[in-house]
Structure formats: C-alpha cells, structure tokens
Amino acid sequence: MIRNTFIFGIGGTGARVVRALTMLLAAGSKLEDTDKVIPIIIDVDAKNADTTRTLKALEAYKLIRKTAYAAQRTADGSDLSAGFFNTNLNTLSSLQTEGAEKIEDSFQLKFDNLETSFIKYIDPKEELVNDVTMDMLRALYDDTPSDHARYENTELNLRLDEGFKGNPNIGCVVFNGLSSLKEYQFVAKSINPHDRIFIVSSIFGGTGSSGFPQLIKLIKGDDRLRDIKIGALTVMPYYKIEAKKKAGGDGKISSESFDSKTEAALSYYARHMAGQLNALYHIWDTPTKQYEYNAGGDKQLDPAHLVEMIGATAIIDFINKPNEALGVNGVTKYFDYGIIQDSASVDFRHFYNWSGKTVMKPLALFAYAMKIYLDYIPQLQGEVFYKDLLKDHIHSDLFYQTLSAFFNSHFKGWLKEMASNERKFEPLQLEEELNGFITGKPISIKKILGIVRDSGLSESFITEKMGRMEDELRKTIPDTEKEKRFLQLLNQIAAECYKVLGALPTMTE
Amino acid sequence: MLLTIFSGLYELISGANPDVPNYIDDVYDTVGQITLIMVFVLILIFFLALGRWKPIFHKLGHWLITLILTMGLSFIIAFVTAKDDIGEIDSYMYRFSLMNAIFAAVVFILLSLVFKPMSVFSKRTPF
C-alpha cells in the first residue's frame, strides 16, 4: 500500500540528519511504497544556521524535482521511476487535508510566543497561580539575571527563541504546547493510520531530547494514530564542544554534560517509552572533533558528519521495511549501525552490502553528475546538448540557478564538510579528475605502445556520451520539457561513468 | 537538363563568354556536376560520417574549415577543368572559378541546413 512518511527533525541534530537525508534522496536512494515524504523541522532557535541551511536544501530539492523530475506511474499510482530526486519530498501544505486550517508552505513547524524569556513564557501575566510560587520555580530552575556574570547558568531568564541551550527541562515545558500549534494540528489531521512517522533527535542537547518524548506522547494520545508505525533515531554524542568560553560567548552549552544527559535520557526512554515505538535506531561515535562553541543562532553552523549521514540511512531503512518486519505494536525493535572496519577515514569500502547498494551507489552516481555539471559542462559550450538545453538558460533560469546551488553549495559543501570532519568521510577526491574521483579505485588509462587506447572517463568520453544521449533523449522528451531532459541526461551520463568504474571499491581491492 | 541549368546559372553569376564556346558545350556541365558531387561528399563526411561518429570535427570552426576547403576545391575544379578543355588561361577563367567557389559555398550552406538534423554532434552547426 502506498503511504506517506512524516519525518520530524527536532533541534540542530535533527535538522542536520534531515539535511543528510535530503542529499541521499537527491542522489536517488529509492524509498519503497512511498508517495510523499514530509520532513518537518522543529527548532525553536529561529535563526539556527544548521536549520536554515537544511531548509534551503529542502526548498531547492523541492523546486528541482517539481521542475525536472518525470514520474512514471503504475495504475495504482506508485512511482516506478528511479534516479536523482525520485522521492517526492514535499511540504505539509502539499497534502490535501480536509477540515484543516490552511498553513504556510514551509518545511518548518514554527512555535508562537517564544520571543521572550522562559519565566515570561510560563507566566506571561506575572501572576503565579495555585501552588506555584517564585520560590518553587527558583528551586527548579536557575534564575541568574541577564546582567549577572554567571548569566550562562540562567534558566528562568533564558530567551526561548535562541533555543533551549542544552536544557531539556525547559524544552519539555515548551513542547507541551506543541499540540496547540496550527501546524501540528494540520499534521495530526494529515497523517493516516497506514502512514509512517519517523522522529530524529539528539539525546544530549536540549531541543531534541525534550521534544522527542513529548511528540511520541502526543501521537500516541491521538486515538486515530494509536497503531501507526513509528520509528525514531536517537543520536548520541559524536562531537565535543570547545570547553573554553569564547570572548563574547555565553557559554551555556558544555559537552562535559553530554554523557550524563545521555545516560539520564536513556534511562527515561527505557522506563517510559519502551514499546511506544516500532523501531528505535541508535547511533553514536567516539567524540574526537571539538566544534567551535556557538550557542545557537546564525553562528551555529556545525560541519556535516558521517554520523548524520548514517543516521539518515536509518530513515531509509525504516521506510523500506515492510510492515511485517516492524513487528507488532507494543514491541520496539532496536537497531545499531556498524562499518566493516574502524578507521579515522571512512570511504565506500567501509560499508556493508545494504548500504553499498541502497545509499553508496546512488551517492557515487550523484557525485559523478555533480562533478560533470560543475567542472566539465562549462568547458563543453560548443556541444549540441549545451546549445540545446543550457545556453540560453543556465545563467538566468531559476531551475538552473537552483540546481547549481544544490550541487555547489549544498551537495559539494556537505561532502567537503564530512571530508574535513573527524571521523572523516571521504569517499570522493573532489578536486581530482573523473578518473581519480572515487577514493580507492582510480580508473587507469590503457595504452598500447605508448598510444592511448582507452582514456577512461576523459572529457572526450563525456562529450561523446552526452552528445549521443541527448540525441536519443530529444526523441522522447520534447523541447517544452528541457529541464526534464537535462536531469535525465545527468542520470544517464552518471550511469555511464559508473559502468566504466565497474563497481564501488571494496576492502579486498 | 543539367546542362541547361548549369549554363544558365554560370552565365548568370559569372557572365556569358560567347567567344569561347567550350564553356557552354562542356565546361559548365562538367564543372557543375563535379562541384555538386564534391560538395555533397564533403557534406556527407562532415555531418553523417564524422558528425555521427565522434565529437572530433563538429564545431563552427570545423565547419568553416570545411566551407573554405569546399570553396578552394571548387575553384581548383573549375580552373583545371576549363584549362584542360580550352588549353589556355584567360581572364574569364578566374572569374568563372571564383563564381564556382561561391556557388559551391552557397550549396554547402544550404545542404548544411538540410543535413545537420541527421547528425549527432553537428546538429547545431553552423548555428
């Protein structure tokens, strides 16, 4: 049965995993029996650069797919097509939900009334009622004022629109108001019992660790969704944050508390959430990289990490699992992830077959397309395919501007960040020519008596193949759908490069 | 039929030369036919042989080289054919050869428009 999957990315880590998922789906990782995938980013830190970057990638994906993806559907409506951008990644508002108030066309679920301090949020009229007193609140929360030297400890005076700064005790109070949001009510009405839900959050921060249990509580409290299949990814510590406070920084977040927060949260999950989920994926890594301290906002732009990409594969795994494999409701299945060999630098060789086939091969194909689009096509302006498809459009059309940004800023940027992080994920040699592009498997140039017989993935190879492919594609895709033709051309030339490569490298090579 | 076409054409573009009847009797016909065949062969080589084989000789620059080659060969064909037939060089022979080169260029351009859609790599050559 065709279903939708709703993916909630909570907090900065949730957004970064959704960013990785966007890249994997752009690369063409196939999701079975799925109509739409609806990512919903939940982050109270309105200016968080990680979240903003993810939202931009999602918007770019959506536009590229809408303009250039040609779906091939069967009679029952399922999409047979494969290739880049084949998954219908869309916004909540794309769903036709009867009886729901219209919402903004956005991938983000926005909280209202957070432009204030925590104390004003819980007590807006400053008239504490019932048994709640200021003394009681002070016993529960730190109330260091904003002009105090130790302001970094404050909880009651924390501004909520800057995020929860690693305080899940504040986050769970705010997330209690989630059900009153117009967007959440739209979500609740849009989800059908046969759809699936996946929640991504970190366990060592503030937003994710508090939002995750609250969200589960809300979903399970809805009679209509009681039996819906739910999966979740809990990201445990995989990086550290600079212990030393930067000049001008507020120093509210410390990685020293990551382990204790993780332990506390895991104990809570074990006691209160066992059986609530169908699948729970755990991921972590030995933290070696020390990120620069940034307490959210537009400066929190942490580099992409292998853990986030592997986290995104958990979503693909969950969506592709048949209902039978998820077991009966009330019993949670737990999943971990391992690579073949522990290494400070990971590439295609380190993954087992499932990842190789489902994720790494599409990733290699998309990387070939990116390389050709960014580095080779600009040199081929005299070719027929360039004159026909790109010449009058590449610098002016929104589609090509978006595609260029997706390849250059989003995808290449993401790969570069992972390649420079620790542990390093460097499956591609981004600055090399195509023959040396795949780490661990260079394509050799074959010569006989000093004369080149086979130059591998040379510029002339690309030129000839793209010329022939465009000549064939123009017979089936009309000039009115040039973007579709171009995306198909990229798919085909990437497949041709992969054919020359043979297969991804393995440990034995 | 061809004889009539070529005579009329060459007399139209390079002027009549009633003093030397060899032109109207033999030269126009022979030169016209050889030139057409030669242009046709070059077009086939450029657009169908090379243009469908590999992207090695398919751009505007390559097309211009072929055009200049066509004009040069056409000039030589006209000049040599006329000289062989008449036995001596006269000033009309230069004008006729030059006009044959221009005629060949026009035919080459027209045939380019006809044959370029059949090519793979020269589909947008010359424009």
pLDDT tens, residue by residue, A335-364: 988 889 989 999 999 999 999 999 999 999
Residue in chain B lying closest to A459 (CA): B55
pLDDT tens-digit readout, A126-150 = 777 667 777 777 777 777 776 776 6
- Structure letter (DSSP) for residue A41: E
The predicted structure's pLDDT at residue A255:
59
Give A242's pLDDT tier (boundaries 50, 70, 90): low
Does the structure show a pLDDT above 80 at A15? yes
Mean predicted confidence (pLDDT) in A57-70: 95
**Which residue in the set A387, A388, A464 is minimally distant from B55, CB to CB?**
A464
Task: Please tell me the distance in Å from A456's CA to the nearest CA on chain B.
Answer: 16
Lowest mean pLDDT segment, chosen from A140-149, A173-182, A298-307, B12-21 = A140-149
Q: A463 at the B interface (CB within 8 A)?
A: yes
Distance CA A411, CA B112 (A): 42
Lowest mean pLDDT segment, chosen from A181-195, A409-423, A466-480 = A181-195
Mean predicted confidence (pLDDT) in A409-433: 95
Q: What is the ipTM of this complex?
A: 0.79
Distance CA B94, CA B92 (A): 5
- Top residue of A376, A380, A384, A459 to mutate, by most chain B CBs within 10 Å, is A384
Count of domains forming chain B: 1
Give A464's pLDDT tier (boundaries 50, 70, 90): very high
Task: Please tell me the distance in Å from A352's CA to the nearest CA on chain B.
Answer: 40
Does the structure show a pLDDT above 80 at A232? yes
Q: Tell me if A382 and B122 make a contact (CB, 8 A cut-off).
A: no
* Backbone φ/ψ region at A297: left (φ over 0), alpha (ψ -120 to 50), beta: left
- Structure letter (DSSP) for residue A275: T
All structural domains of chain A: 3-112+162-337 (3.40.50.1440), 116-158 (no CATH), 353-501 (no CATH)
Q: Tell me if B120 and A468 make a contact (CB, 8 A cut-off).
A: yes
The predicted structure's pLDDT at residue A294:
60
pLDDT tens-digit readout, B67-94 = 999 999 999 999 999 888 888 888 888 9
Residue in chain A lying closest to B60 (CA): A382
Mean predicted confidence (pLDDT) in A235-241: 80
Does the structure show a pLDDT above 80 at A176? no
Interchain CB contacts (distance < 8 Å): A and B? 25
Q: Please give the model's pTM, rounded to 2 decimal places.
A: 0.87
Residue in chain A lying closest to B53 (CA): A464
The predicted structure's pLDDT at residue A321:
93
The predicted structure's pLDDT at residue B7:
79
Distance CA B95, CA B81 (A): 14
In-domain check, residue B126: no
pLDDT tens-digit readout, B39-60 = 999 999 999 999 999 999 999 9
The predicted structure's pLDDT at residue A99:
67
For A333, the token pair is: 């299945």
Residues 6+ apart with CB under 8 A from A186: A92, A93, A97, A100, A101, A103
In-domain check, residue B83: yes
DSSP three-state, residue A35: strand
In-domain check, residue B59: yes
Q: What is the mean pLDDT of chain A?
A: 85
Give the β-pairing of A446-448 and A451-454.
antiparallel
Does the structure show a pLDDT above 80 at A430? yes
Q: Which residues of B touch A468 (CB under 8 A)?
A: 120
The predicted structure's pLDDT at residue A153:
67
The predicted structure's pLDDT at residue B3:
52
Task: Please tell me the distance in Å from A473's CA to the nearest CA on chain B.
Answer: 12
The predicted structure's pLDDT at residue A45:
73
Distance CA B27, CA B126 (A): 32
Distance CA A149, CA A238 (A): 30
Give A415's pLDDT tier (boundaries 50, 70, 90): very high
Higher pLDDT, A265 or A376: A376
% chain A with pLDDT above 90: 47
Distance CA A226, CA A406 (A): 38
In-domain check, residue B123: no
DSSP three-state, residue A104: coil
Closest CA to A110 of A155, A61, A174: A174
The predicted structure's pLDDT at residue A400:
96
Domain of B8 in residue numbering reads as 2-118
Task: Please tell me the distance in Å from A471's CA to the nearest CA on chain B.
Answer: 6
Q: Which residues of B touch A384 (CB under 8 A)?
A: 120-124
Give the C-alpha distances (Å, rounded to integers) separating A227 from A34, A81, A278, A317, A327: 18, 30, 10, 20, 12
Q: Which residues of B touch A475 (CB under 8 A)?
A: none
Mean predicted confidence (pLDDT) in A221-235: 90
Q: Which residues of A touch B120 (CB under 8 A)?
A: 384, 467-468, 471
Q: Tell me if B121 and A384 make a contact (CB, 8 A cut-off).
A: yes
The predicted structure's pLDDT at residue A295:
56
Does the structure show a pLDDT above 70 at A388? yes
Does the structure show a pLDDT above 70 at A300? no
For A103, the token pair is: 């919402």
The predicted structure's pLDDT at residue A213:
87
Does the structure show a pLDDT above 90 at A271? no
Q: A391 at the B interface (CB within 8 A)?
A: no
Q: Which residues of A touch B56 (CB under 8 A)?
A: 460
Q: Which residues of B touch A387 (CB under 8 A)?
A: 124
Q: A74 at the B interface (CB within 8 A)?
A: no
The answer to whether the peptide bond before residue B117 is cis (omega within 30 degrees of 0) is no
The predicted structure's pLDDT at residue A28:
95
% chain A with pLDDT above 70: 88
Give A496's pLDDT tier (boundaries 50, 70, 90): very high
Q: Which residues of A touch B60 (CB under 8 A)?
A: 382
A221, A28 Cβ separation under 8 angstroms: no
Residue carrying structure tokens 């990733």: A363
The predicted structure's pLDDT at residue B50:
95
Give B113's pLDDT tier (boundaries 50, 70, 90): very high
